[in-house]
């Protein structure tokens, strides 16, 4: 027995409307995917910042605890020398 074409098209329109609302409207799957992507991006940024923070903490601890390292850094950065040391400048 053949279905009523009006019922069939009505059902197709109904399913299309539901599909449209689920996929494209506010709060739909598209918005959910955008939010998940933003969350993943934020998590990656947090992980990178945590790694950088850990590296900076290690560097700070080394500067505070290792006097030789601190002296080496200061000598390189500011070009300081100890009293009595001679500085030789090599020109090219």
Walk along the chain (92 residues) in steps of 10 and give the mean pLDDT of each run. Answer: 73 84 77 93 98 98 96 91 87 88
pLDDT on residue 44 = 98
pLDDT on residue 1 = 46
Give Cα separations from 59 to 31, 55, 68, 87 (angstroms).
42, 6, 13, 28
pTM of the model: 0.58
pLDDT on residue 2 = 53
63 Cβ neighbours under 8 A, 6+ residues apart: 69, 70, 73
pLDDT on residue 72 = 92
CA–CA gap between residue 21 and residue 23 (Å, rounded): 6
pLDDT on residue 22 = 75
């Amino acid at each position: 027995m053949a279905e009523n074409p009006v019922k069939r098209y009505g059902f197709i329109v109904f399913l299309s409307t539901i599909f449209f609302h689920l996929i494209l409207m506010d709060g739909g799957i598209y918005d959910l995917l955008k939010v998940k992507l933003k969350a993943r991006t934020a998590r990656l940024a947090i992980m990178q910042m945590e790694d950088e923070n850990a590296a900076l903490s290690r560097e700070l601890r080394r500067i505070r605890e290792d006097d030789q390292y601190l002296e080496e850094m200061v000598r390189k950065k500011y070009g300081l020398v100890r009293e009595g040391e001679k500085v030789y400048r090599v020109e090219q």
